[in-house]
Every structure is written in C-alpha cells, then in structure tokens.
Amino acid sequence: MVMLDSAVSAVLSNKRRVNALKALGVMTLQDALTYYPFRVTDPVPIRHLRDAKVDQSMACGAQVRAIRIMPMAQRRGHRLEVIVEDNEDSSTASLVFFSYKKYFVDWMSTRLKVGSTIVLQGIPSFYNDRLQFTHPEIQVVGEDCPDLETGLSSVSRPRPVYHANSRISSQHIHDTILGILRLLASDDDAAGVNLQPKDIEDTVVPIIPATRLAAKIPDILPESIIQDNGLLHRSQAFLSIHEPDSVKAFKAALSSLRFEEAFVSQTALLRTKSDVKITPALPCDGHNADVLVHEFLASLPFALTQGQRDVMAEIRADMAHAYPMQRLLQGEVGSGKTIVSVAAMLRAVGAGQQAVLIAPTQILAEQHFQTIQRLLGQKGHEATTLDNDSQAMLPQTSSVAADTATVTKLSSIPVVLLTGGMRLAQRRKALAAASSGNPCIVIATHAAFSKTFQAPNLGLVVIDEQHRFGVEQRNALRNKSEHAPHLLVMTATPIPRTAALTWFGDLDLSWLTELPGGRKPIRTTVIEEDNASMMAKMFVHIRQRIDAGERAYIVCPRIDEEEEERSEQSGRELAATSSGPSAPTKARYAKSAGQQSKAGIDELEFDDFEEFSVPNSSDDEEASETLPPLHSVTTIAARLSALPQFAGLSIATLTGRDDDETKNSIMHGFSSGEYPIIVATTVVEVGMDVPEATCIVVFDADRFGLSQLHQLRGRVGRGGKQSWAFFISRAQPDSIAAQRLAVIRDSTDGAEIAQADMELRGAGDVLGDAQSGGQSSLKLLRVITDATIIAKARDQAEVLLASDPQLKKEVQLAGAVLDFMRGNERFLTST
C-alpha cells in the first residue's frame, strides 16, 4: 500500500528525476507534498486566436489542420510545426516544437492528429507574419481531458512555482507532485506505479478529487482547531497549494499549512518544556549558597544594575527546584552576563555541587578563567585581556575590594581550567579535580564533552555563546552526572524578542538591556571603499589613536587568496578566483531564496556571513550578480604595512589557522602594545577584551550579517574611552546591503538591529537554518511576518495540552509532534 512515508523511488520509475528530487531533500511522498511552491502565477486568460496579444500568455481551444516535421538545417535536431484553427472565426496559428530527440517529435505528432481538438496554453508571438506559439502546453480533448471546457479550465488556472535547480525544473517538480496526489487519490495502491511513462515535459494530470485524498492524508490538527480558525482540511490544503483553482485558494491553503506548522512546533516546544519538570535534578539552594553569593556580590567594587539583580533572582528561584533550570540569558556586549553566571556557579558550589562553564574557544576559556580568579580574589595568572563584560566593571588593579574573611572564603573555591591545548600533566590534574566530585568551578572548552571528563556531582552547566554548540554536546554533559544539571545558556548575539519567544520557547528567557555606567556610545561610520579621501582620513585617525596609546582591530572575511573553488547549492554557483593581489579578480555569487551556502570554510571563518547578494529571490530563475572578491587578511596586512600612516608600526595577523600558542602570543602582544594593529578574521568576534582597543575596521562589511557586525563593534569601547567602528562597504547605494549598513550605523540597540536584519534578510539568514526551519520540518513559517500566527497557535496549544498533556486523544497530532521533535533536536534545544 502506498502511504505518505513511501519512498519516491518506489513509485517513480524515472531514476534521473528521483536523484534530482533527492538532491532537493525529497525522498518520500510526504517530502514531496511538503515541498511547497514559493509563489503562484496569475490565472491565464482564455481568448480566441484573433484576440491574441503578443507576449501575453493565453489559453485557447483549436483544431489541428496540418502537421509537418522538418530537420533543422544549421543544427542537429528536428522541428515540428502544427497548424491549428480556431473554430470560432477560422483564425490560424502555428505551434512550433524543437527537439534534439527524434522520438519526442514523433510522439508529439502522433498525439496531435489532423482533425483532433486540442487545448493550448502559451505565449503568442509573430514569425513571418503568422501567429506562433513556441512549445505551448497541450491537452488533447478526449485523451488528456474529457471535453474542451474542462481542458480550458485546467490550463488557465494559476500555476505554482517551485524552487528548482539545474537538474530539475519547476514544471517537472509540479508534474511529479501532481502524479503523487493522483496516485494517493486512486483506487490502485500497487507499488511501482509509473507516474512518468515518457520522459517528456508536458505530462498532463487529470483533476484530482479532494474527497479521495482524505483517507491517505489525514488531518493533523484537531477538528475543533480547524473549525475555530477557519482552516482547510489537510488533504484539501495540499491539493489547493499544488493545484489551486485560484490565487485565493492558494492563499487559503498557504494560511492553513502555515498555521499547522506553527501549532505543531509550538506544541513540541511546550511539551519539551513541560517534560523538563519531570526530570530529577539536585536543588542548588540553602544557607551556604546564599551566603557565598552574598559575599561575592559584597566584594564587587561596583553596584549591580537592576537587570542583573532581577536575573539573579530568577536564577535563584530556578535552581531551588528539584528539576533542572532551563534558562537563556541574552544581553548586550558589556551588560554584565559574566557576573550573573559567576553568581549562579557560586550558588551551585555553595550547595556542595560542581559547576562547569563551557566556552567555544581556548582563548575565551582562558580569559574566563583569569576573570573568575580575579573576581574571587585568587592569585592566579594576571589576566591581560578580560573577557565578556567584566573589564568595564572591574577595577584596573589586581585586588578586589573586600574584607579579609570574604576574600579568604571566595579565594578557597577551586577554579579549574580544562582545554584541549593543555599539557598532559595539567590536563590530568584538571580531570582529576573534576572527577573527584568535590565542589569546584570548571572552565572548559569542548574538552568537557570528551569521555575522559567526568563530573559526578555536576549541578550547573553554563554555556557561553550557546549557538556554537550542538545538541549532542549538550546531552554529553547531562550524562556526566547522576542527575540532570541546571542549565544556563548565554548569548550576546542579538535576537529579536519575537524570534526568541518562538525559537527558544523551550527555555525561560532573561534579558540584560542595561549597560554599566561610564561606557561611551561607539561612533559608527560607513565608508565607501572607493572614497579615497575618507579612507585616508580614517587611517590618519587610527594612527593618531595609536600614538595616544590605543589599539585597532582590522577585520577581513578571508585568510588569504586561494585558487578557484566552487560550490553548488540549488543549481546556483559560487566561484571565487584570484591570481594574486596585483591581478584583477572576479567572484560570482548567487543565492537561492531563503537559503545560505557555505563555501571555502577554511577561508570564511564567521557564522553570519552574507556570501550572496540576492536574498529571498521572488522566482525560481537563477539570480546572480558579479561581486568583487573578498578582502583577505594577508592582502590587507601587506597593504597597511605599505601605508605611510603606519610607518614604523608592527602589524600582527590572527586567523583560525594559527595554533593556540601563536594566538596567545599575538593577543598578549596586542594587549601590551607590541602590536598596536591586529589584522584578523572574525576569530576576534568573541573573547577579545582589550581596554585600549578603540578602533575597529571591518572590510566587506556589506557582506556580513548585522548581528555579527554588532558583535564585532562590541570589541571596542570596553575601557571607557571614546571608540570608533568603521564599516568599509562596496555595496550599491540603493541595495539591501546598503540599507542594512544604515541600520547599524544609526542604532546601537542589538534587538532593534536584529529585528531589522531579519526583516531585510529573512529569519533563516539571521538565526541559522536550524533555528529558522531551513533544515527542519518548518517550510512556511517566518518569525517576523508570522509572529501573530505563532502567538495564536501557542495559546491554543497551551489550552489543548492543559486538558490532554500526552495528546492521547489526538493521535495524528501526537505523531506529528514526535516526528518534529525527532527531526529538530537542534531547534528544540535552541543550539
């Protein structure tokens, strides 16, 4: 029996098409039906031949009067010409078909017999003073359609348009999906039915009765939800989106399926969130925990912001429960997340448990280690670069203002550093400290996910920059202890509130919006690279700041110039070529709608890079644009060294290819002033905290995401001095990229910037495919435009789950939620 989970290969004999569909992620009938069109064409008017208008699509009924096949003289192949006559007024036209395949013209000529009545749909033109249609769509009355009226209705209706590629066209995708619908609606359930008996482009599928589809395509949503929201039943929605009678029917189907996605995803998030409360965890509360946190806060030489106090109160309440805390802490760069996280870890230690802070890089882990040692008044290695919000708050001396008793108690807490780059003896010592189960704070990189790391008394996990870790790694930490640890994930990446409430709906959300006093707004300037005068003034300004004892970052998207590399996604091509700094180079970039492609991972080190210039294209034709090559670290470093403004200065480079020892050496040199200028990739996006850094220049800023530009801008202005960010652009003045840069130039509000970025580029580009639906079960839902739908679906899902928590009465919905949860672990765990 053919069902929705049947493989496409089992019902489609054309293996070439099967492979092309597989490349689009279509492997089952369910995949095919949920491969939705992104737009629908306007209805085609029905006209007589005498009323034909050049270059305007039309449909018409006609009778075949003559047929002839001719070889093409100047190239191989054949030409089929069919003379048809409109019975209404005896007007005539030529239908012309060209093909290299003789069997095609032979097959077409046998269909279009002289005297037969046909329905044609195409775009008319004139050739040799005769009306002509080139490769029109044809239906033969009596074979492809029962009568002329039915045929005209079929070809004149709106047509869905799908994202296609060079291997398969939108029309072939449409033909296949209609064939699947026909198969599901038919009485013949035998597997192996050949949906495409001939390899031709004009296979016609009869009108499909929706009533016959219902048995094979049951509703997922409860009937009450369907009725209350005025939705179509699922079978009708599939039929109306893939073969709409009208544009109105297409939009109705789109709305119904979009609401279905919202309801299933929100139900899954709510189920995940409620399931956490039945997972056992050790409470982190009690007198000792409160005392330790109180002593820590009393030792700080500054006052907490109200936001920090509020978030700490929320965390205290969460960690007092016997089920694990699941909280996302989002805050601007410099808003004080580190202080909040240290207080949470001290609460775990005060309750006799262990706490682990996971950082995405060794550099950041080492800086966290030094910062926490300093905050606790411990004598550790002097931190030359303090990380994550702490520099603006800490005194510029190594001492922490506190009474002797407090310093003694805080300084006795073991703080352990564990990184993959440690020497074997150091690593063994760190692993032994964690595996002992004694209360301590462990600062670790990905080394904490290894099997050798054991923390049997793990009470709290803090993940910094949560989007850099996967669900498998999160689960690995949960298995380190007998009980599920409390979880606090932190991010400085700006995420709009509507997006956070949607995609992080399984977590409780906390926000830090206040910045500590004494920090001056960063002055942001967008400079067109071909404006030589402004570029020269910028370099002069940077030299003046360096002479004043300050530092400057120069950020480039690539490491060095590489040989040509290609990557194809959805039939689009990315090619980058270069013959050296002195030779002109060209790069061709293209972007399929709503998707991103990564090419040259060794070179393109950042996460939110806007490689392509045609976001959210509105049709399925290839949209491409020639763009200049990306700037590289090696080229820009050489250019800066040759500038008279930087004569006598040492310029260092830093990239992801450098080993840890080199990175640490360069960072210490930058902090000390040995290298007042550092040219780097976006490896400096997180973890670099040099108070003397007051200038940052980002080349190719028009090709970055705004959220990442905001993160990079946060690398300066951390020492209380006036700071500047210069974004170098080669975007056209009226382009989307120019509009995006204007947003970050005029705003320092991370949430506002992220909101604008999503509106201009789409949720998939900003949040990443796994959090926007690009690689998940979500196909239609959009965070910004569908915020109201999502909120409505969430409210109704809460009501449904309140009366039926396990969805025992809604079998289809329970199955859909389970499928969604299985295929969207990254989505559900907000990683």
Q: pLDDT tens across 45-102, in order?
A: 999 999 999 999 999 999 999 999 988 877 778 899 999 999 888 899 999 998 888 8
- Does position 563 have pLDDT exceeding 70, yes or no? no
What share of the chain in percent tops pLDDT 70? 77
In three-state secondary structure terms, 408 is helix
- Does position 607 have pLDDT exceeding 70, yes or no? no
Domain assignment present for residue 240? The answer is no
- Report the alpha-carbon angle 785-160-162, nearest 5: 75
Amino acid at 254: L
pLDDT band for 587, please (50, 70, 90 cuts): very low
What are 150-163's pLDDT values in tens digits? 889 888 889 899 99
Length of the chain: 831
Domain assignment present for residue 578? The answer is no
Q: Lowest mean pLDDT of 529-543, 663-677, 681-695, name the range.
A: 681-695
State whether 550 and 425 are in the same domain. no
- Does position 188 have pLDDT exceeding 70, yes or no? no
| Average of per-residue pLDDT across 559-587 | 37
- Does position 500 have pLDDT exceeding 70, yes or no? no
Q: State which H helix or E strand residue 694 sits in.
A: strand 693-698
State whether 663 and 550 are in the same domain. yes
Question: Considering the chain, what is the average pLDDT of its residues?
Answer: 79
What are 446-493's pLDDT values in tens digits? 888 888 888 899 999 998 865 445 445 555 666 667 788 999 988 876
Name the token pair of 684: 């400096």
- How far apart (Å, rounded) are the C-alpha atoms in residues 10 and 194? 9
Domain assignment present for residue 532? The answer is yes
Of 332-336, 529-533, 571-575, 611-615, where does the model show the most confidence? 529-533
DSSP 3-state helix, strand, coil percentages of the chain (rounded to 5)? 40, 20, 45
Q: State which H helix or E strand residue 104 sits in.
A: helix 102-111
State whether 204 and 326 are in the same domain. no
Residue 342: its pLDDT value, please? 95
pLDDT band for 730, please (50, 70, 90 cuts): very high
Q: Lowest mean pLDDT of 429-443, 519-533, 557-571, 579-593, name the range.
A: 579-593
pLDDT band for 395, please (50, 70, 90 cuts): very low
Indicate the residue among 743, 772, 801 that finishes a domain.
Answer: 772
Domain assignment present for residue 376? The answer is yes
What are 214-236's pLDDT values in tens digits? 888 999 999 999 999 999 999 99
- Does position 509 have pLDDT exceeding 60, yes or no? yes
Q: Are 318 and 510 in contact (CB under 8 A)?
A: no
Q: State which H helix or E strand residue 364 sits in.
A: helix 362-375
State whether 37 and 138 are in the same domain. no
CATH of the domain at 152: 2.40.50.140
Q: CB under 8 Å to 513, separation ≥6 — which residues? A: 307, 331, 332, 335
What are 286-306's pLDDT values in tens digits? 889 999 999 999 998 888 888
Residue 686: its pLDDT value, please? 66
Q: Are 195 and 183 in contact (CB under 8 A)?
A: yes
**Domain carrying residue 649:** 523-560+630-772
Residue 722: its pLDDT value, please? 92
Residue 280: its pLDDT value, please? 87
CATH of the domain at 647: 3.40.50.300
Cα–Cα nearest to 414, from 363, 371, 373: 373
- How far apart (Å, rounded) are the C-alpha atoms in residues 272 and 282? 20
- Does position 122 have pLDDT exceeding 90, yes or no? yes
Name the token pair of 440: 């301590």
Residue 134: its pLDDT value, please? 94
| Average of per-residue pLDDT across 653-675 | 87
- How far apart (Å, rounded) are the C-alpha atoms in residues 85 and 83? 7
Residue 118: its pLDDT value, please? 94
What are 760-779's pLDDT values in tens digits? 765 444 444 333 333 445 78
Q: Are 393 and 339 in contact (CB under 8 A)?
A: yes
Residue 379: its pLDDT value, please? 62
pLDDT band for 830, please (50, 70, 90 cuts): very low
Domain assignment present for residue 18? The answer is yes
Amino acid at 829: T
Which residue is it, tokens 């929705």? Answer: 4
What share of the chain in percent tops pLDDT 90? 42
pLDDT band for 252, please (50, 70, 90 cuts): very high
Cα–Cα nearest to 610, from 592, 626, 597, 624: 597
Residue 470: its pLDDT value, please? 46
Cβ neighbours around 389 below 10 Å, total: 28
Strands 565-569 and 415-418: unpaired
Q: Are 821 and 261 in contact (CB under 8 A)?
A: no
Instruction: Give the count of alpha carbons within 13 A of 591, CB side only.
Output: 22
State whether 390 and 493 are in the same domain. yes
- Does position 594 have pLDDT exceeding 60, yes or no? no
- Does position 694 have pLDDT exceeding 60, yes or no? yes
- Does position 399 have pLDDT exceeding 50, yes or no? no
Domain assignment present for residue 97? The answer is yes
State whether 140 and 3 are in the same domain. no
Q: Lowest mean pLDDT of 258-267, 340-349, 482-491, 745-754, name the range.
A: 745-754
Domain count along the chain: 4
Residue 177: its pLDDT value, please? 92
Using left for φ > 0, alpha for ψ between -120 and 50, and beta otherwise, residue 271 falls in alpha
- How far apart (Å, rounded) are the C-alpha atoms in residues 453 and 486? 18
- Does position 611 have pLDDT exceeding 50, yes or no? no
- Paired with 524 in beta bridges are 725
More confident residue, 495 or 487: 487
State whether 329 and 410 are in the same domain. yes
Amino acid at 221: L
State whether 177 and 151 are in the same domain. no
Residue 577: its pLDDT value, please? 29
State whether 313 and 445 are in the same domain. yes
Q: Are 570 and 673 in contact (CB under 8 A)?
A: no
Cβ neighbours around 436 below 10 Å, total: 15
State whether 481 and 431 are in the same domain. yes
Domain assignment present for residue 708? The answer is yes
More confident residue, 402 or 527: 527
Q: What are the backbone dihedrals phi and psi of residue 428, each rounded to the nearest 5 degrees, phi first?
A: -60, -40
- Does position 12 have pLDDT exceeding 80, yes or no? yes
State whether 186 and 112 are in the same domain. no
- How far apart (Å, rounded) are the C-alpha atoms in residues 687 and 513? 20
- Does position 107 have pLDDT exceeding 90, yes or no? no
Q: What's the gap between Cα 557 and its chain centre?
A: 19
What are 779-795's pLDDT values in tens digits? 888 766 787 898 899 89
State whether 182 and 115 are in the same domain. no
| Average of per-residue pLDDT across 306-314 | 93
Torsion angle, CA of 18/23/27/32, rounded to 10 degrees? -90
Residue 570: its pLDDT value, please? 32
Domain assignment present for residue 1? The answer is yes
